[in-house]
């Protein structure tokens, strides 16, 4: 039964960027489905408050570990803390990411490197460190959060598009190399997902969700919970034969041709 395949009881999940938006929605769903969850981000107060809400709503443990995922030693410490507290790692969600948009000709080298550090290098270090424990236990599921920018590209985001594309290929190779250990790795490419921080960015740019939704086949933007649904599915036994894939959650493709009425 599908319900049994979505049972995370006895499993331990790490969700980076777990205090807000997609990461928070994912951590909440995993906890409600039975998992013990570790969430990390840089802002300790925000993180502790999120962990308390998740624990109260789910009845399961949610451990807040303040971590800057761009700092290798901090990631190593966060993964070790997880193992020390719970004894294993079954799920890793590489959700931390983001960008600042700008035209290609004005992106400084430091800015380019920073976006790769946040969106690719951090996922590599988290995967490597958590993966050591998954390899030892010969099981695990890794889900990394990409973007439509990594699938189709986006003008004003050459660095971000390239980084997310690299994350997708990293995931594909991880799946190929670690499948023999019973580890699955997949990506979820987010479209226009109206998380609180994205809504703030749109507001600064003078955009409203309705403006963004008009060009989407489903005629609306998505929600963090809709992203979390796919992430949790890919982390679960319901997706036991799915690995090395990038799956878009974007409300449908925008195609050329006859204009809509």
Active-site positions read 160
C-alpha atoms less than 13 angstroms from C-alpha of 85 in its C-beta half-sphere: 19
| DSSP letter, residue 18 | T
**What whole-number distance in Å separates Cα of residue 170 and Cα of residue 164?**
10
- 110 Cβ contact list (under 8 Å, min separation 6): none
Placement of tokens 């013990």 in the chain: 36
First-to-last alpha carbon distance for the chain, in angstroms, is 42
Helical H runs in 179-253? 196-204, 209-213, 224-235
Residue 45: other Cβ atoms inside 10 A: 10
- Residue 246 has φ and ψ, to the nearest 5°, of -115, 120
């Amino acid at each position: 039964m599908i319900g049994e395949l979505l049972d995370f009881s006895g499993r331990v999940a790490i969700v980076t960027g777990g205090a807000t938006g997609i990461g928070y929605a994912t951590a909440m769903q995993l906890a409600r489905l039975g998992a013990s969850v570790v969430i990390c981000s840089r802002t300790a107060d925000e993180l502790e408050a999120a962990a308390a809400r998740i624990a109260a709503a789910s009845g399961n443990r949610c451990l807040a570990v303040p971590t800057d995922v761009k700092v290798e030693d901090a990631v190593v410490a966060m993964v070790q803390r997880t193992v020390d507290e719970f004894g294993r790692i079954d799920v890793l969600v590489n959700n931390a990411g983001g960008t600042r948009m700008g035209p290609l000709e004005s992106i400084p080298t430091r800015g380019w490197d920073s976006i790769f550090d946040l969106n690719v290098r951090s996922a590599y270090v988290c995967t490597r460190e958590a993966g050591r424990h998954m390899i030892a236990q010969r099981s695990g599921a890794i889900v990394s959060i990409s973007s439509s920018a990594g699938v189709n590209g986006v003008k004003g985001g050459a660095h971000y598009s390239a980084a997310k594309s690299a994350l997708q290929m990293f995931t594909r190779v991880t799946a190929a190399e670690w499948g023999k250990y019973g580890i699955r790795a997949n990506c979820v490419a987010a479209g226009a997902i109206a998380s609180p921080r994205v809504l703030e960015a749109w507001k600064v740019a003078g955009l409203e969700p309705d403006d963004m939704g008009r060009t989407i086949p489903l005629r609306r933007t998505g929600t963090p919970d809709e992203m979390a649904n796919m992430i949790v599915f890919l982390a679960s036994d319901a997706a036991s034969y799915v690995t090395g894939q990038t799956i878009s959650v974007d409300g449908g493709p925008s195609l050329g041709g006859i204009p809509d009425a």
